[in-house]
C-alpha cells in the first residue's frame, strides 16, 4: 500500500488541505520551521498512531485547538501483486472524500476540498483516519469509514518506517530500541503477535505488582508464572521466526557492501532469558533476586538483538559513520522482510541528508528504489533526484514545497 492522499486538520502548523503524493518518491522541501517534519509526523500517525518525535499528543494539536485529525487515502502502491488492493486507484488521482462525503466524520470541513472531490472519481484501496481530542483524552480510529478499536488495524495497512537522526540509537542505545525495531517487523509478519505481546505485558505488570507486595504468595506467583511462560513462548517464537527472516535479508545486504567490519559482525537474538531452560524454571530459581528488585527480570521484556564485533558491542567498536551504515542496512533489511508478504513499506526520511555523506545517501536511495517502497524525504533546499542521488533513476518522483504549513505540489 502507498499513501496517495493526506489531509490533516489542526495538526501542528499544517493547513487543512489535501495533498496528493506519489506512491514512489516524494521530496518535501522548505525553510527551517516551515512544516516538513510535521507533514512526515502526520503520515507517521497513520502508521504508528503516535508522533515519532514527541511522546505526547498534546504537542501535535494546533495551538489553541483541542483536537486534531489525520486522514489518509491508500492505493495498492508500487508492488506487483500481494497485499489487498481491491478497488485500488493507481492513477494517483486522489479524492479525499471518495465514498464518504464527510471525510470519516472527523469534522474535516466539507467545503474546501471540493476541487479534489470532483477531480477524483474512483475510490481508494483503503481510507485511514485518526483523530485525538487532547481535552477529552479520546482517540477515534477509522478504517474505510468504520470505527476500529486497535491501532494495529491502521498500522497493518501502512507500515511506516522512520529514518531520522534518532534512528542511530538502534545501535548506540539500549536493548529497548532494538526490541522495538524487531517487534515492528514481527507485528507485520505474524498477525497474532500484537495481541500476544499486549497480553504478555499485562501479565508482566501484574507480576511486578505482586513482586513489589513485600510478602509473596507463592501459589499466586506460580499462577502468574504459568501464564507468563505460555505468553512469553508465543511472543518469542514469533520473534525468532521474524529474526531469522531479518537475518537472512541482512546478510544478503552485508554481502554486497565492501565494509571490512561486515565480515566480523555477529548478530544474535537474545530472547530475554537463557532459552535452553524453560522460563518458568528460570523465574523460580531467581525468585529472590526478582523480589529484591521488585520487578520482572527475565522474559521477552528483556529481549535484544545483540550486535557484536570481536565479542564487543558494535557501539564500542564501529565509528559513527560505520554505525550509520549498519543501521541503514538494518532498516532496508526490514523492508526486504515485508516485501515478499506483499507489504510495501513507507519510509519517512527526515533530516537525514545532513547525517549521511553522498555515498551513504546513494546506497540508501538505490536500495529503496529496488525495494519499490514509498519514500518521503525532507530537504531544506529544492533538489532534483539527480542532485540528491546522482546516477540513480527515481521512478514516479513528486516534489512539494512547504511554506508556513502550506504544502504545494510542484511538477
Ligand X SMILES: Nc1ncnc2c1ncn2[C@@H]1O[C@H](COP(=O)(O)OP(=O)(O)OP(=O)(O)O)[C@@H](O)[C@H]1O
The least CB distance from residue 347 to ligand X, in Å, is: 17
The least CB distance from residue 356 to ligand X, in Å, is: 16
Known binding-site positions: 30-37
Please, which residue, 268 or 403, has the CB nearer to ligand X? Answer: 403
Please, which residue, 52 or 246, has the CB nearer to ligand X? Answer: 52
Instruction: Answer yes or no: are the C-beta atoms of 33 and 131 closer than 8 Å.
Output: no
Please, which residue, 33 or 390, has the CB nearer to ligand X? Answer: 33
Please, which residue, 298 or 400, has the CB nearer to ligand X? Answer: 400
The least CB distance from residue 68 to ligand X, in Å, is: 9
Known binding-site positions for ATP: 30-37
Please, which residue, 44 or 194, has the CB nearer to ligand X? Answer: 44
CA distances for 68 relative to 8, 218, 232, 326, angstroms: 7, 48, 37, 36
The least CB distance from residue 215 to ligand X, in Å, is: 48
The least CB distance from residue 380 to ligand X, in Å, is: 6
* Interface positions with ligand X (CB under 6 A): 12-13, 30, 32-38, 59-63, 351, 380
The least CB distance from residue 59 to ligand X, in Å, is: 6
The least CB distance from residue 3 to ligand X, in Å, is: 18
Give the whole-angstrom CA distance, residue 144 versus residue 211.
44
In sequence order, what are the beta bridge partners of 28? 378, 400
Please, which residue, 199 or 406, has the CB nearer to ligand X? Answer: 406
Please, which residue, 31 or 370, has the CB nearer to ligand X? Answer: 31
- For cell 489487498, the residue is 84
The least CB distance from residue 51 to ligand X, in Å, is: 10
Nine-digit cell at 382? Answer: 529544492
Please, which residue, 100 or 131, has the CB nearer to ligand X? Answer: 131
3-state secondary structure the chain: CEEEEEEEECECCCCCCCEECCCCEEEEECCCCCCHHHHHHHHHHHHHCCCCCCCCHHHCECCCCCEEEEEEEEECCCCCCCCCCCCCCCCCCCCCCCCCCCHHHCCCCCCCCHHHHHHCCCCCCEEEEEEEECCCCEEEEEECCEEECCCHHHHHHCCEEEECHHHHHHHHCCHHHHHHHHHHHHHHHCCCHHHHHHHHHHHHHHHHHHHHCCCCCHHHHHHHHHHHHHHHHHHHHHHHHHHHHHHHHHHHHHHHCCCHHHHHEEEEEECCCCCCCCHHHHHHHCHHHHHHHCCCCCCHHHCEEEEEECCEEHHHHCCHHHHHHHHHHHHHHHHHHHHHHCCCCEEEECCCCCCCCHHHHHHHHHHHHHHCCEEEEEECCCCCHHHHCCCCCCCCEEEEEEECCEEEEEC
Amino acid at each position: 500500500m502507498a499513501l496517495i492522499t493526506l489531509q490533516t486538520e489542526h495538526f501542528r502548523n499544517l493547513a487543512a488541505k489535501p495533498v496528493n503524493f506519489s506512491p514512489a518518491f516524494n521530496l518535501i522541501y522548505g525553510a527551517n520551521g516551515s512544516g516538513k517534519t510535521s507533514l512526515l509526523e502526520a503520515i507517521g500517525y497513520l502508521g504508528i498512531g503516535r508522533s515519532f518525535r514527541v511522546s505526547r499528543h498534546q504537542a501535535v494539536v494546533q495551538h489553541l485547538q483541542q483536537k486534531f485529525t489525520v486522514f489518509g487515502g491508500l492505493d495498492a502502491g508500487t508492488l506487483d501483486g500481494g497485499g489487498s488492493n481491491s478497488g485500488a486507484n493507481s492513477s494517483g488521482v486522489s479524492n479525499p472524500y471518495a465514498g464518504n462525503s464527510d471525510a470519516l466524520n472527523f469534522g474535516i470541513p466539507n467545503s474546501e476540498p471540493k476541487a479534489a472531490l470532483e477531480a477524483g472519481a474512483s475510490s481508494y484501496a483503503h481510507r485511514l483516519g485518526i483523530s485525538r481530542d487532547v481535552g477529552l483524552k479520546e482517540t477515534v480510529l477509522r478504517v474505510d469509514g468504520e470505527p476500529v478499536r486497535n491501532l494495529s488495524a491502521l498500522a497493518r495497512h501502512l507500515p511506516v518506517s522512520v529514518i531520522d537522526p534518532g534512528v542511530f540509537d538502534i545501535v548506540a542505545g539500549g536493548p529497548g530500541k532494538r526490541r522495538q525495531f524487531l517487534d515492528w517487523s514481527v507485528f507485520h509478519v505474524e498477525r497474532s503477535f500484537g495481541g500476544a505481546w499486549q497480553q504478555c505485558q499485562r501479565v508482566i505488570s501484574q507480576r511486578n505488582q505482586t513482586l513489589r507486595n513485600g510478602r509473596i504468595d507463592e501459589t499466586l506467583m506460580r499462577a502468574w508464572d504459568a501464564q507468563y511462560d505460555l505468553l512469553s513462548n508465543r511472543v518469542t517464537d514469533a520473534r525468532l521466526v521474524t529474526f531469522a527472516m531479518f537475518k537472512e535479508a541482512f546478510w544478503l545486504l552485508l554481502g554486497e557492501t565492501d565494509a571490512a567490519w561486515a565480515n566480523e559482525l555477529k548478530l544474535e537474538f537474545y530472547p530475554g532469558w537463557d532459552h535452553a531452560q524453560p522460563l518458568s524454571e528460570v523465574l523460580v530459581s531467581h525468585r529472590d533476586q526478582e523480589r529484591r528488585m521488585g520487578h520482572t527480570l527475565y522474559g521477552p521484556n528483556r529481549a535484544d538483538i545483540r550486535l557484536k564485533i570481536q565479542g564487543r558491542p558494535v557501539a564500542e567498536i564501529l565509528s559513527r559513520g560505520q554505525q550509520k551504515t549498519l543501521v541503514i542496512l538494518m532498516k532496508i533489511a526490514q523492508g526486504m522482510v515485508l516485501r515478499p508478504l506483499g507489504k510495501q513499506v513507507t519510509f519517512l526520511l527526515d533530516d537525514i541528508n545532513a547525517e549521511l555523506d553522498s555515498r551513504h545517501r546513494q546506497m540508501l536511495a538505490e536500495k529503496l528504489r529496488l525495494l519499490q517502497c514509498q519514500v518521503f524525504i525532507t530537504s531544506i533546499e529544492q533538489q532534483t533526484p539527480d542532485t540528491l542521488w546522482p546516477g540513480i533513476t527515481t521512478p514516479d518522483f513528486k516534489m512539494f514545497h512547504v511554506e508556513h504549513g502550506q504544502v504545494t505540489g510542484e511538477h
